[in-house]
Amino acid sequence: MKKLASIKQVLRAPACQGIVALARQMPCAGPPRRYALTVLKLDRLGDAVLSLGAVRRLVSHAGARHTLLVVSEVAAPLYEMEFPEVDKLVLPAFCQRFWPDLCLTLLRHAGRLRQIQTKHLVCLRHPPSDYLHAISQVMQVEQCHASRWNLSWERTSLAYPSCQTTSYPENAPDGTCLELEAHRRVVEGLLGTPVAADEIRPAFSSIQARPGTQLLVCPLAGDALRQYPPALMARAVRLFLDHRPQASVGVCLPPGADHAPWAEAFRAESVGIAQWISPKNIPQLVEVIAGAGVLLCPDSAPAHIATALDKPGVFILGGGHHGMFAPWRRSERQRWLSHAMPCYQCRWNCHQAEPFCITHLPAQEVADALLAVHLLRQK
C-alpha cells in the first residue's frame, strides 16, 4: 500500500502541473481585472467568521476598490454582508480529489482566474492544498503570502509562486486561538508593521447585537461527531430552566434538518420549545443570533457568529482540533466547555467508542455555565 501511495504521489506532480498549464491556456473570460490585493479564503462558514478581522484589516490597507475576495459559495453571503463594496470571486470551497474535482473545477473557472492580476495574494486558509496552489498559479500574482504549516495530512505537489511564508503558531494569546494568531502573522508579514491580536479578533460591522431573552439552542455542527447528544443537550436546558423558569427556548436548525431527535429529547425532559427556527440564508441566521438572549451550541458556525457578535453563549468544544479554531472570545460572556482527553488533536479521526471529549461533558456543567453567562447578558 505504501508503494502504491508513493507511485500515486509521483504521478500526481506532473498531472497537477499539466492541468495548471492547460488552465493557463484557456481564454480569458473578459478584460484583465487588476487589484493591489487578493484574499484567498475558500473555506466553511465558521472559518470565514474567524477571518473577518484579518480581512477587514487587509481591506483597510489596500482599499475596497483595490481588493478582491476569492471566497467559497457557502461563505460568500457573509462576506457580502461585511464587505459589500469589495469585488468577489466565488468558487467551490474544496476539491478533495484530483479527478474529477480539481481538474474540472480549475478548467471551469480558468477563464475568470486568468483575468486576475494582483500585486499581493494573501491565503488565509493555512493547511497547504494543491487546489489553492493551482488557483494562485493560474492567476497573475507578483507576491504570495501564506502560513507554513508542517502538520497537514494532505500531500501536495504544487506550491504558491513567489511566496513569503510565516510559521504556523504553536501558541496563541489569551482569548484567541491558533487560527487567529496565524491570520495575524500573515497580515503582519504583508503590512510590515506590528498587528495586535485585537485587530484580528472577529467582529461584525454590518449588524449590531440586540438585547434578548430567549435561550437559543443551535444543536447541529458541521459533522455529527462534534455534536452534544440530544439527551444531554435537553438535560442541560432542563437544569438551566429549573433556575430560570421564565426563560423561553428556541431551537435553530438549518432548512430541511430533522427535528425529530431534538424534539423527542426536549419532550422527554419536559422542555417546551417556544419556537423552531430555520433561517433561509446566512443573513437571516446572523439576525436570529444577534437577537438571542443566550446561546447554546456545539463548535459550529453559530458559535463563531455568536462570539463575533459578543453574545452570551456556551459552546461545547471537542478535542479533534482543540485550540486551533477555538476557544476564543470577545469577552467574559463566552464560555467554551471541554472534557479533556489524552487523545486530543486526533483531527476527528476518533478511535474511541464515541467522542468522549464531548459526550463525557456533564449536563450540569453546561447548565451552570449557561446560568453564569445569563447573568452577564446585560453587561
| CA dist list (Å): 302 to 125, 282, 370 | 20, 10, 16
Question: How much is the pTM?
Answer: 0.96
Helices 130-138 and 103-115, packing angle to 10 deg: 30
As a whole number of angstroms, the distance between CA 172 and CA 170 comes to 7
Alpha helices in 142-209 (DSSP H): 178-191, 197-200
pLDDT in tens, 134-171: 999 999 999 999 999 877 767 889 999 999 999 999 99
Output the pLDDT for position 99.
87
- Under the banding of pLDDT at 50, 70 and 90, the label for residue 20 is very high
As a whole number of angstroms, the distance between CA 194 and CA 216 comes to 38
| CA dist list (Å): 215 to 22, 163, 306 | 53, 46, 13
Look at the block and give the residue holding cell 417556544: 274
As a whole number of angstroms, the distance between CA 284 and CA 342 comes to 39
Measured in degrees and rounded to the nearest 5, phi and psi for residue 252 equal -110, 120
Q: Inform me whether the pLDDT recorded for 4 exceeds 90.
A: no
As a whole number of angstroms, the distance between CA 291 and CA 209 comes to 6
Measured in whole angstroms, the distance separating CA 270 from the mean position of its chain's CA atoms is: 34
What cell does 130 get?
Answer: 494543491
* Domains in the chain: boundaries: 9-200, 215-374
pLDDT in tens, 200-216: 999 999 999 999 999 99
Domain 215-374 has CATH 3.40.50.2000: yes
Q: Inform me whether the pLDDT recorded for 5 exceeds 70.
A: no
Name the superfamily (CATH) of residues 9-200. Answer: Glycogen Phosphorylase B; (3.40.50.2000)
Q: Inform me whether the pLDDT recorded for 267 exceeds 60.
A: yes
Residue 340 carries which side chain, given as an amino acid letter?
Answer: A
- Under the banding of pLDDT at 50, 70 and 90, the label for residue 315 is very high
Q: Do 9-200 and 215-374 fold alike per CATH? A: yes
Percentage of the chain beyond pLDDT 90 is 91
Average confidence (pLDDT) over 235-247: 98
